[in-house]
Structure 1
Amino acid sequence: MKRSNPLTGVLGVLAFAAAALTGGAATADAVTPAVAASGTAAAAVDPLPRITVSDDPASRHLVDSETGARFIPRGNNYVRLAQVADWHHHATFEPGEYDPARVEAALTYMGNSGYNVVRIFLDPGHPQHNVDGQPHGLGHGNDDHTVGNAAYLDNLADFLVRAAARGIYVLPAMDYYPFNAYYADIAATSAPQQPNLAGWNAFYLQRSRINAKAAYLQNVVLELRERVGAPLMTTLLALETDNEAIFEADQKPFSLTTGRVTGPDGRTYDLAVPAERQALGDNGMVEYANSLVAAVHEVDPDLMVTTGMFTYLAVNKTIDGFGVRCDRTVAGNSCKDAWHYWYPPRPAALSARSDLSFLELHLYPEPGKTLDQNLASVEWPSVTGPVVVGEYGTRRSYHGGDVRAAAVAMRDLQVATCRAGFGGWFYWTWDTDEEAVQREFVTATEQSGAVNGQLAPVVRYDPCLTEPSRRPVRWTPGWPVPGLPFPGGYGVSR
């Protein structure tokens, strides 16, 4: 959701896993952070195999492109926040905020726990903070004509190298595009401006803004390649175009019930017809996704692209042509808070008609909203291809403040989604504690790593099983090739 925003060594984690597997008194306390090590030069790091989609169109899994072995992403969201005015922004890579020692410790802890991926967030900046003279992120102010803040990109490259050295792939979430003069010019002049497109809707439906986003994705690839070298670009699992793509039904065009609007696909839609309004959202998001995939593949033909989203139930919606709407331009309107009018993209449309490599769904079951109900709200039986859980987590209040009960619930959620056909998981979050809302969520590392003790692949190698399991000695097709350094791909017995 949009929110207001060491192991003591391999022996330590293996002892933890062994105790769990033999029925001993394994506790999460055994999984503790390693001492941070110094950074590693890119030239000294062996590239990871590129991860890609299966050649089998019916497959719901990713694969190692070198071996053909199934690859199951298992990891966490690594998030650092900082406050500007009344807003917390993603500050993991902010110059002056980036903490290489903390990053090294976290990646070492993750790697020793068996995780093979980490999800991060790139900060595009904030328009109002630019005006206020407090720019941050990749778009460092309205007078910034660069493709992205160089020092910020240096920090991102450093993170990528450190992750590769630990055998961990990186998935960057890339909302919007940097708020600076370079991208503003593309957004304003690269294509005719269609009327009646406003708010977040314009980022997905206005062709010129899609062009700006395409340039952003390309530039990040090119800038990272220049810094880390082409071989280490395989460390990127994919580029994620949006943390959570959102349409707003209190902003044009979905706030309107009359008139016509032209989508980025060139088709004109009648806003008086609910089916046409739904088609505008569905087709527009497919066009947006396909345009961005094409742009990425111009500079890296093998790099995967994905998009994140929450469920319809998460925001109390159904697939209804944006029926819950409000026109804020009408005097005396009775519009509620903005989130009342949020709608996600339609996963079934994206999986069927877009060029995205896989989809990324966020799941936060809460009282009265079960996993089955969440999946039903997104037409789960009609969603095809690989889908990963890009965020799953829980508020401590749902478990009476009992962190270990929350940990068991998260294990059970992973098992249930695995059995439902999901092919990867990123827990929300690893250790984020800089902001009040985030402190409501149980992190993976608190209370001596209670959640990590349930989710770590060295404890539960098979994510479809609640009980501890370990990597098989013998391999069969679909399992990782013997001899790959741990952690590599993960296989799941069936």
Structure 2
Amino acid sequence: MPEHPIQIVDGGFVDIGTGKPFIIRGANYLTRVDLGTSWQDRTLSPAVFDRTTVAADFVALAERGYNTVRVFIDSCNGGRSCIANPGGPGLNPAYLDTIVEFMELAQQNGIFILFTSNDLPDNAGYWEISSRDDAGVFPGYRNTHYMTASGERAAEIYWTDLLTGLVDRRAPFEVVLGWSILNEQWMFKDQYPLTPDAGIVTTKTGTYDTSDPEQKRAMVVDGVRSYIDAVARIIRSHDPNGLVTMGFFAPQFPNATGIGGDWYVDTAPLVESSALDFFDFHAYPGEDIPLVQIAENLGLPADKPVIMGEVGAFIDRFPDIEEAAIRVQRWIADSCTLGFAGWLYWEMLPADLSVGDATWALTVGDNYLLDVLAPGSQPDACTPTLTDPNVALGAAVRASRSLPGEPPENAVDGNPNTQWGAGTDARQWIEINLGQPFEIGSLRLRVAQFPAGRTVHVITVDGIEIARIDSTTAEGQVLDVPLSVPITGQVVRISTTVSPSWVAWSEIEILAP
């Protein structure tokens, strides 16, 4: 088997052919299909895969300097044209053929692949194997899958079937940057064995007293670490030089966050000790805590590479694509100082807005993001090339009143998921001091208001009224305030005189012409 051209040397990715660092720059590549009740990525389904389209997309990436795509192996996991064998156990031969063809196209165009698994296939008996040890106690699915011996065994069988099938087809493993055991590892925190706060729980790795928080935490870590060890052994037995990773979003501690909702994840102990070669951490601008706190929750390693395998701009957070580009460039640059050394944008092709978490795709707007984020346009991902017209970002700010957890600084932090809240009704004001006079061409105000209703806002610059807004507004609405003639000023005050709710703003942007 040919040697992988990208290896890890002294804690970083290196192109062994040139001896130079290899900086991962690329995209998540999904092809979503409307199934009627939902959308599903079917990039590798032989019924959907289009060689000409994929080749053209790879050319578009390579010509701009991108080098990697992240692809889901098994997101097409149920149906005759998906990964599971439609006629019995094992995997669909036609699907495996398509995976190999995809790999060959990537190799021909100088693109590496980070393959990731989303879950066991729905069919072919893998989940039945996984559930054998639930003993009527474990709830099935993820909590059973990671905490029981049968769940681990199901993963071993699945990965053996997958990699054996690819080896038999002489797949070009040298094009694989890495094998991601899971897209995102998590468990349900409202299901057994995470629900009891007292009593003894026995899992595949031992017996734990759930009244002891440290033992309860160790129970999950031990189970996931064992799962990683088992699957990594299978991968390395088929691809000895291959790199192994796993995807994670941020845990909800030590810094409290709503990331992940009711899903539980704990990464710091795995960073300290696991069979992973590198870590794939996912983080998007506009979360409810800043990137530095996300990194603290993840517990970044000092001795292994870390990539941001998912990063992008959600449309509902950043409704303007140019603002989205600025925020993504800044987010990535900020992550450089924290130790991230690779970024894969979510996602290359546009998703229907009905998916609920659609981002600005690289190819929308005549390839706008594909161009401005490209290594050819931005050679150093750690140095933004776009100028932010928002002169209010990080400016000095004060307000008439503020709730303890909603200070006025939240209105100028660039994060639409935080807000300044006065904690009381109108009349209230917030005042931004730009530090020096700036030419102002417009303002953009993101509403934080419930219930919806009539509001009146008066905007002044250095004490002179420049605009008055009297309209019906609602939570999340963006108010654009263009000025017919730019004005130069330093202190901008927004006074709310009428509102059906407590006065608040999630973000205030003061834009240069």
CA–CA distance in 1 between the matches of 2:303 and 2:216? 24
Contact 1:264 1:288 in 2 (8 A): no
CA displacement at 1:197 relative to structure 2: 5.3
CA displacement at 1:364 relative to structure 2: 1.1
Alignment match, 1:170:
113
Contact 2:30 2:41 in 1 (8 A): yes
CA displacement at 1:159 relative to structure 2: 0.8
Residue 248 of structure 2 corresponds to residue 306 of structure 1 = no
Contact 2:138 2:193 in 1 (8 A): yes
CA displacement at 1:105 relative to structure 2: 1.1
Alignment match, 2:335:
417
Q: 1:274 to 1:188 in 2, by over 3 A?
A: closer
Q: What is the CA deviation profile of residues 51-96 of structure 1, one whole-angstrom value per residue up to 9, with x for unaligned ones?
A: 2222x3xx2x212344443222110001112233523222111222
Contact 1:250 1:338 in 2 (8 A): no
CA displacement at 1:423 relative to structure 2: 1.3
Match of 2:68 among 107, 117, 127: 117
Alignment match, 2:293:
373
For 2:317, what is the secondary structure of its paired residue?
Answer: helix
How high is the TM-score relative to the length of structure 1? 0.72
CA–CA distance in 1 between the matches of 2:265 and 2:80? 29
CA–CA distance in 1 between the matches of 2:287 and 2:280? 23
Alignment match, 2:214:
275
For 1:181, what is the secondary structure of its paired residue?
Answer: coil
Q: 1:138 to 1:193 in 2, by over 3 A?
A: farther
CA–CA distance in 1 between the matches of 2:29 and 2:106? 12
For 2:337, what is the secondary structure of its paired residue?
Answer: helix
CA displacement at 1:269 relative to structure 2: 0.9
Q: Which has the larger radius of gyration?
A: 2
Structure with a larger share of its residues in strand: 2
> Over the residues paired in the alignment, what is the CA RMSD in angstroms?
2.8
CA–CA distance in 1 between the matches of 2:202 and 2:72? 32
Alignment match, 1:328:
none
For 1:52, what is the secondary structure of its paired residue?
Answer: strand
Contact 1:187 1:211 in 2 (8 A): yes
Q: 1:438 to 1:457 in 2, by over 3 A?
A: farther
Match of 1:91 among 42, 66, 85: 42
Q: 1:338 to 1:410 in 2, by over 3 A?
A: closer
Contact 1:245 1:344 in 2 (8 A): yes
Alignment match, 1:52:
7
Q: 1:259 to 1:196 in 2, by over 3 A?
A: farther
Contact 1:408 1:451 in 2 (8 A): no
CA–CA distance in 1 between the matches of 2:14 and 2:61? 21
For 1:261, what is the secondary structure of its paired residue?
Answer: strand
Alignment match, 2:200:
260
Residue 88 of structure 2 corresponds to residue 144 of structure 1 = yes
Alignment match, 2:373:
455
Q: Identity, % of aligned pairs?
A: 27
Q: What is the CA deviation profile of residues 303-347 of structure 1, one whole-angstrom value per residue up to 9, with x for unaligned ones?
A: 1111001012xxxx2259xx99xxxxxxxxxxxx9963211231x
CA displacement at 1:187 relative to structure 2: 3.0
CA–CA distance in 2 between the matches of 1:432 and 1:439? 11
Alignment of 1:244-255 (within 5 A): 244-255=184-195
CA–CA distance in 2 between the matches of 1:384 and 1:264? 29
Contact 2:40 2:75 in 1 (8 A): no
CA–CA distance in 2 between the matches of 1:388 and 1:338? 19
CA–CA distance in 1 between the matches of 2:310 and 2:75? 20
Match of 1:102 among 53, 73, 77: 53
CA–CA distance in 1 between the matches of 2:344 and 2:15? 19
Q: Which moved more, 1:213-222 or 1:353-362?
A: 213-222
Contact 2:188 2:262 in 1 (8 A): yes
Where does structure 1 lack aligned partners over 5 or more consecutive residues? 1-46, 325-336, 469-494
Q: 1:81 to 1:294 in 2, by over 3 A?
A: same
Q: 1:437 to 1:182 in 2, by over 3 A?
A: closer
For 1:416, what is the secondary structure of its paired residue?
Answer: helix
Alignment match, 2:314:
395
Match of 1:208 among 150, 165, 168: 150
Contact 1:78 1:432 in 2 (8 A): no
CA–CA distance in 2 between the matches of 1:73 and 1:294? 25
Alignment match, 1:240:
180
Contact 1:352 1:384 in 2 (8 A): no
Contact 2:131 2:140 in 1 (8 A): no
CA–CA distance in 2 between the matches of 1:72 and 1:99? 29
CA displacement at 1:100 relative to structure 2: 1.5
Equivalent residue pairs, number: 386
Contact 1:360 1:390 in 2 (8 A): yes
Q: Which has the higher contact order (CA 8 A, sep 6+)?
A: 1
Alignment match, 1:429:
347
CA–CA distance in 2 between the matches of 1:97 and 1:118? 18
Alignment match, 1:343:
264
Residue 160 of structure 2 corresponds to residue 218 of structure 1 = yes
The letter of the residue matching 2:111 is: I
For 2:316, what is the secondary structure of its paired residue?
Answer: helix
For 1:340, what is the secondary structure of its paired residue?
Answer: coil
Contact 1:199 1:251 in 2 (8 A): no
Where does structure 2 lack aligned partners over 5 or more consecutive residues? 387-513
The letter of the residue matching 1:386 is: P
